[in-house]
Structure 1
Amino acid sequence: MLDKCIKVHLNGEYNRETIREIKYYKKIADKTFSVPIIAQYHGVVKTNLGSGYVFDLIKDYNGEVSGTLSSYLSEKTLCEKHKAGILQAYNRMKALAEQHAIVTMTLKPYNILYQLRSQIEGNLIIIDNLGCANLFPLAYYFSFFARQKLSRRFDDFENMLMREYGITFSFSIIMNTQGN
């Protein structure tokens, strides 16, 4: 049995973004991925802090909780050690997201986990910001619009990686702005 985690909003406010995201998770629940690229949603539970949203807890092959992509990219030693695996996982995630027309609000390195499958290979798994906030989300119903939106999201993501981490997806370290 897989471990689970619960997402709870501590500010006590009704969170429109999470509700929108949950609706999208339900919409894509029947999609089967050869490799996981999104955390699996399991429903709502009541907690002492309010409603909680249950997801798979993503763990590495060794049982450790997987780290965020941002933690791998901002630590020079980790980035160097795992750059080939991250690049391979990124290309796989991008291809599967396009194949299945998965819609995201934005792609952010702290909302993507790098799940190690071995010491050198892994998967990138999106854990937040799925769906879109459009009043009429055509991307939910037409794959063409979903893929157009997704293409822009990946372009924006790659540009952000270059600006913030000095990384292109040829995975050259252009500059080390983090000082690590």
Structure 2
Amino acid sequence: MITLTKSLLIAKGGERDCYIHPEDNSKVIKIVHKTEEHNNQNELEYSYMTYIKKRKGLDLSQITDCYGYVSTNLGKGLIFDRVLDFDGTPSKSFRYYLANKIIPLAEQELLITELKNYLEENLILFVDTSLTNIFCPKVSDSSYKLIIVDGLGAKRTGIKFTLYKISKAYTKYKIKRQWDKFMKMYEKDVKRAKLGKRPFTRL
């Protein structure tokens, strides 16, 4: 059994906590922390990742890979890659870079286009399109890449989740629809960053 402590906690979401793996700091462990009714995000994500990884030639370069379940002192956890910069520094979210105007808008647009093409070519569903679910690791001193760390597959179980896995046409439709939502969120945040009046509280 793996022991997780508060010192390893790096992120807290509405349903799950994210810890650095104590035996491998290139990995994280996601633990469901809600005691009341929840959407079983670990189960949804594990099911979806298992499904897409059966495809031949799947490109995992812009999502974090999933390595299955592990027993911890806080319950069953799901292991994923941890996103790090090229020098080993923990990466920050895309929203962090946007809010602090670190990456020029023209370069942001190139990164976004690259991610959009990646999702479409690999038929990967990014459903929880928050900019905090996309990390932006530095891959060199002057270049970046977008990697989705959360929000793949579905927000809840049901007929739609099944359709995503059996209908390519429905998957393509859903990818486009969710991407349109993402772009609206992105454009709203760009305007907010330009105005500089309301600070970003979630980065």
**TM over 0.5: same fold?**
yes
SS state at 1:23 partner: helix
Tell me whether 1:20 sits opposite 2:44 in the alignment.
Answer: yes
CA distance in 1, matches of 2:26, 2:165: 29
Once the two structures are TM-superposed, the CA of residue 79 in structure 1 deviates from its matched residue by 3.6
Contact 1:166–1:175 (8 Å) recurs in 2: yes
SS at match of 2:87: coil
When residues 115 and 85 of structure 1 are mapped into structure 2, their CA distance, relative to the original with a 3 A threshold, is farther
Measure, in 1, the Cα distance between the counterparts of 2:131 and 2:28: 19
Rounded Cα–Cα distance in structure 1 between residues aligned with 2:52 and 2:60: 15
Aligned-partner Cα distance in 2 for 1:135–1:67:
33
After superposition, the C-alpha distances for 1:110-132 in whole angstroms (9 at most, x for unaligned) are: 11100111122221111111112
Give the CA deviation at 1:174. 5.6
Match of 2:145 among 107, 123, 130: 123
Match of 2:64 in 1: 39
- Give the TM-score normalised by the residue count of structure 2: 0.74
Shift of 1:158: 0.8
Aligned residues with identical type, % of pairs: 25
RMSD: 2.5
Cα deviation, residue 12, structure 1: 4.6
Contact 2:133–2:151 under 8 Å retained in 1: yes
Specify the alignment match of 1:94 in structure 2. Answer: 116
Task: Tell me, yes or no, if structure 1 residue 4 matches structure 2 residue 27.
Answer: yes
| Cα 1:123–1:30 shift into 2, 3 Å | farther
TM-score by length of 1: 0.83
Closer, same or farther in 2 for the Cα pair 1:73/1:178, shift >3 Å? farther
In structure 2, stretches of 5+ residues that fail to align are 1-23
- 1:179 and 1:105 map into 2 onto residues whose CA distance is 25
8 Å CA contact 2:32–2:42 kept in 1: the answer is: no
Distance in 2 between the 1:54 and 1:44 partners? Answer: 6
Q: Is the 8 A contact 1:12 1:50 kept in 2?
A: no
Q: Give deviations 1:38-78, integer Å, cap 9, x for gaps.
A: 100001111111111100111111111111111111113x2
The separation in 2 between residues aligned to 1:116 and 1:66, in whole angstroms, is 7
User: 1:35–1:10: structure 2 CA closer, same or farther, 3 Å change rule?
Assistant: closer
2:173 aligned with 1:151: no
Equivalent residue of 1:43, what SS?
strand
Q: Distance in 2 between matches of 1:40 and 1:58?
A: 10
SS of 1:131's partner is coil
How far apart, CA to CA, are the structure 2 residues paired with 1:159 and 1:24? 25
Deviations 1:114-164 (A, max 9, x none): 011112222111111111236223121222111111111111111112223
Task: Kindly indicate whether the alpha-carbon contact (under 8 Å) linking 1:33 and 1:96 is maintained by their aligned counterparts in 2.
Answer: no
Tell me the distance in 1 between the aligned counterparts of 2:106 and 2:25: 27
Q: CA deviation at 1:86?
A: 3.2
The equivalent of 1:170 in structure 2 is: none
Structure 1: which 5+ runs fail to align?
168-172
